[in-house]
């Protein structure tokens, strides 16, 4: 069986893999072809997951399938894009039909949840590694970027933070937890829900946005740098789950929420006047701070004192 058949057979259940809205040509030719409606732009993001670095090896291929696509789709959410399609570059040490089938089931489930169609990719032999490239549509000029935050805007996040970081010791088998605590944390880690609908709802409202993947402080630093502003975060307003507080204690939960990675929750800035409508519409947004003149991210305690830690976030390489 060649790599063409391999991809086709195991991923054939993907929603509309052979064509669908915006997909003019799917898997099987030298290129896929996308239609982009007049007045819209194509948003593109690429994410790589490496075994032993981004996920434990071995791990459950179904969960990996879900997670690998969710992580990539979250970048579309951060731009306010409507999901269209994705490609999958899969490097595998051996041909393992059961592994592929199970991975494809997880991937297809997340593809369906997100409204993403598999349109192509590559299958190669080598150390386990996955690169997914996702495509979305966004009205021209209305994508949410990192660079538009203005002093006076509020800083918000789209949900509780730190759950995935809290789950890490469970994923790695370093700790155990009662299922009431462990299950919701593990669900956040293995099956993050890209906030695609929230991203689209923020078009024309948010002045900047991104998805938190490297930790709140580090990622807010990207907004501050791109927008040439400062961000002041009030520690007490950073939302954490009860499960996380149970598991790590209050200080540990705060630490996970500030610097743990893998949240895939949106962080965004917007004028104060937009907040009541979004809350009234039921969006799960939490105001955690404010955009200020200056630069960088400042963390404040409940008395307004600066308690910014020295180093935040996870980086793959340090020079």
Work out the angle between the directed axes of helices 179-190 and 61-79 (0-180°, nearest 10).
60
Residue from the set 138, 154, 206, 224 that interacts with a second copy by CB under 8 A: 138
Q: Which residues are annotated as a binding site for Mg(2+)?
A: 30, 45-47, 75, 122, 211, 214
- Within 10 angstroms of residue 298's Cβ, the number of other Cβ atoms is 19
Should residue 87 be labelled a site residue for a second copy when binding is judged by CB under 8 A? yes
- Contacts with a second copy in 28-57 (CB under 8 A)? 28-36, 38, 41-54
- With b meaning 16 or more CB within 10 Å and e meaning fewer, what string describes 259-297? bbbbbbbbbbbbeeebbeebeeeebebbebbbbbeeeeb
Which range in 91-99, 109-117, 180-188, 271-279 contacts a second copy by CB under 8 A?
Answer: 91-99
| 73 class by beta-carbon count within 10 Å (0-12 exposed, 13-18 middle, 19+ buried) | buried
Should residue 2 be labelled a site residue for a second copy when binding is judged by CB under 8 A? yes
Which range in 185-193, 206-214, 243-251, 274-282 contacts a second copy by CB under 8 A?
Answer: 206-214
Token pair of 178, please? 């009662």
Should residue 201 be labelled a site residue for a second copy when binding is judged by CB under 8 A? no
Binders of a second copy: how many residues, by CB under 8 A? 74
Should residue 101 be labelled a site residue for a second copy when binding is judged by CB under 8 A? no
- Contacts with a second copy in 224-243 (CB under 8 A)? 226
Instruction: State how far the alpha carbon of 117 is from the alpha carbons of 22, 85, 319, in Å.
Output: 10, 4, 38
Nearer to a second copy, 118 or 300 (CB): 118
Q: Write down the least CB distance from residue 129 to a second copy, Å.
A: 5
Cross-strand partners of 85: 117, 135
Which range in 27-35, 230-238, 268-276, 289-297 contacts a second copy by CB under 8 A?
Answer: 27-35
| 125 class by beta-carbon count within 10 Å (0-12 exposed, 13-18 middle, 19+ buried) | exposed
Q: Which residues are annotated as a binding site?
A: 30, 45-47, 54, 75, 121-122, 146, 211, 213-214, 262, 314
Residue from the set 67, 117, 188, 222 that interacts with a second copy by CB under 8 A: 222
């Amino acid at each position: 069986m060649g790599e063409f058949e391999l991809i086709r057979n195991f991923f054939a259940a993907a929603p509309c893999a052979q064509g669908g809205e915006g997909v003019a040509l799917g898997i099987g030719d030298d290129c896929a072809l996308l239609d982009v409606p007049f007045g819209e732009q194509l948003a593109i993001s690429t994410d790589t997951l490496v075994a032993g670095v981004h996920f434990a090896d071995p791990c459950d291929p179904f969960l990996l399938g879900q997670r690998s696509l969710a992580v990539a789709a979250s970048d579309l959410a951060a731009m306010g894009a409507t999901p269209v399609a994705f490609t999958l570059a899969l490097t595998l040490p051996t041909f393992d039909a059961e592994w592929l089938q199970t991975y494809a089931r997880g991937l297809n489930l997340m593809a369906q949840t997100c409204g993403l169609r598999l349109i192509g990719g590559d299958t190669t032999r080598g150390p386990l590694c996955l690169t997914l490239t996702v495509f979305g549509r966004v009205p021209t000029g209305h994508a949410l970027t990192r660079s538009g935050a203005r002093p006076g805007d509020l800083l918000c996040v789209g949900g509780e933070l730190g759950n995935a970081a809290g789950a890490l010791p469970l994923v790695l088998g370093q700790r155990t937890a009662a299922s009431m605590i462990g299950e919701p944390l593990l669900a956040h880690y293995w099956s993050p829900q890209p906030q695609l609908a929230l991203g689209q709802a923020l078009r024309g409202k948010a002045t900047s946005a991104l998805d938190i993947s490297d930790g709140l402080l580090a990622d807010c630093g990207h907004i501050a740098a791109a927008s040439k502003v400062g961000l002041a975060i009030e520690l007490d307003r950073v939302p954490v789950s009860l499960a996380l507080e149970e598991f790590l204690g209050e200080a540990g939960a705060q630490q996970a929420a500030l610097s743990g990675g893998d949240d895939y929750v949106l962080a965004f800035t917007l004028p104060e006047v937009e907040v009541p409508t979004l809350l009234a519409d039921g969006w799960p947004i939490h105001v955690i701070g404010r955009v200020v003149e200056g630069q960088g991210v400042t963390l404040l305690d409940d008395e307004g004192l600066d308690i910014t830690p020295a180093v935040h976030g996870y980086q793959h390489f340090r020079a």
